[in-house]
Chain A
Amino acid sequence: MSHDDLFAGEKGVIATGEQLVADNSFSSPEDKQHYEELLKSYEKLFRVTRRLMRLSDQNEQRLNAAAEVIAQKNKELEALSTKLSKYLSPQIYNSIFTGAQSVEIASRRKKLTIFFSDVVSFTETTDKLESEELTNLLNHYLTEMSRIALEFGATIDKYIGDAIMAFFGDPESKGVKEDAIACVRMAIAMLRRMRELRSEWRELGAERPFQLRIGINTGYCTVGNFGSADRMDYTIIGNMVNLSARLQSHAEVDGILMGHETYSLVKDVVATDEQTPIKVKGFAEPIRCYKVLGLYDDFVREGQLIREEQEGFKFMLDLQKRDKQEAITTLEAILARLRE
């Protein structure tokens, strides 16, 4: 339907009016003059209406065309930002895109829990592999570990070859204690997944599948953007970061070694075994460190531990360390004292 069809009614009214004027069907010249003025005004109003309607339609077309261009540009930007996001930890990406974090050279002190993992004898393990095999293996390993890291809320700082550096507490934090617990839980989950992956890799023909060493430490770090205005990295620096890396290098194969600060935060949840303090460059005193044995909840579930905690009452029995009968005898003695 064209604009002319839309206005057929109005055109009919004008044609009838013009015919009346032509036929001079008026009772007086004044009536005719008034009628002619009215008709002229109606004709003008009709033209204005038609004009404004067309202008409005044309403006809408322009707007739609502009909206299509913008939508296309948005799609391109979205695709580009998705590609770029792969180079950033999701938390960093999200905090930049939501505007929570400014992209400028700036840093601050914050208490974080830092995680380092490294593949034991990576060079020797992968020396015989072809480049493509090595790439697939390394990417598979990093993909699996990153998935777990993100699941637990870690900020992945960087991959250094086969090593992973991550931290908890920035840009998102659930509190220092919860962050430390999340970090240890994540490390345990990673080792568990590595055990599964090793059997998969063996089946695929890998002679010496990857094994890990993990170091965890909690302390004040400087966190923020470092670099130049053109190229910056969101990372952490400080003594505590170096200490985490040193703890990792002292960890047992497939083991987790953590510093005292982390230990004090997680000791209610994580079973540990204190190790001989280690000497670390830059630290005057030997560093107290703790081997992670597992989560108390897991031990309880597996029947290795009996644990009961209430206000003013704390009970824990490690059935791997204590003989069951001896434990019963001790408990009966306690009960006897209670009944006195």
Chain B
Amino acid sequence: MQNLAIPATARTPAIDFDFGNNRLKLSGESYPEDVTEFYHPVFSALDAYLAALGPGSCRFDFELIYINSSSAKAVMMLMDKLDAAAAKGATVDVYWFYDEKDDTMQELGEEFGEDLENIQFHLEKTPD
């Protein structure tokens, strides 16, 4: 399966889906003008990958600095997809990295983690 790599812009995060090594990453800031347009290919690639993953294992890193409300909803949808794959037998580790001075991203990570039933969720500080 072809990897997905989208470089970051001022308003959109970097997407680095290395499907061959089962390492997926989303990092940077996210406040696109059109959230649906930006995240649509990301969802599609993840759906295809997870459908083929079966009982395999993967790791997804979130390393976000700033997200707007629409992007937060998109992130929750990504996590739901990962959680659903884990419910079907995949081993999924999600790492949520946040700046140690950023209470907003820490709280958000904590709450996202609470929603996940089948995933191994890891909340990690990134040093300044």
The interface of chain A, by Cβ under 8 A from chain B, is: 44, 47-48, 51-52, 54-56, 58-59, 62
Contacts and interface: CB of A to CB of B under 8 A. Distances in A.
Main DSSP-derived SS at the A contact region: helix
Main DSSP-derived SS at the B contact region: helix
Contacts of A51: 72, 108, 111
B72 A55 contact: yes
Contacts of B107: 54
Enumerate the 8 nearest inter-chain pairs by beta-carbon distance, A residue then B residue, closest first.
A52-B69, A56-B69, A58-B104, A55-B72, A51-B111, A55-B69, A52-B72, A59-B68
Contacts of A48: 73, 76
A59 B69 contact: yes
B115 interface: yes
B115 A47 contact: yes
Instruction: Give the size category of B's interface with A.
Output: 10 to 19
Nearest to B111: A51
Contacts of B73: 48, 52
A56 B107 CA distance: 13
Interface in B44-98: 66-69, 72-73, 76
Interface in B94-125: 104, 107-108, 111, 115
17 contacts: A47-B115, A48-B73, A48-B76, A51-B72, A51-B108, A51-B111, A52-B69, A54-B107, A55-B68, A55-B69, A55-B72, A55-B104, A55-B108, A56-B69, A58-B104, A59-B66, A59-B69
Nearest to A54: B107
Given A52-B73, A59-B66, 13 more contacts: A48-B76, A52-B69, A52-B72, A55-B68, A55-B72, A55-B104, A55-B108, A56-B68, A56-B69, A58-B104, A59-B104, A62-B66, A62-B104
Contacts of A62: 66, 104
A324 B6 CA distance: 94
A6 to B, nearest CB: 16
A44 B77 CA distance: 12
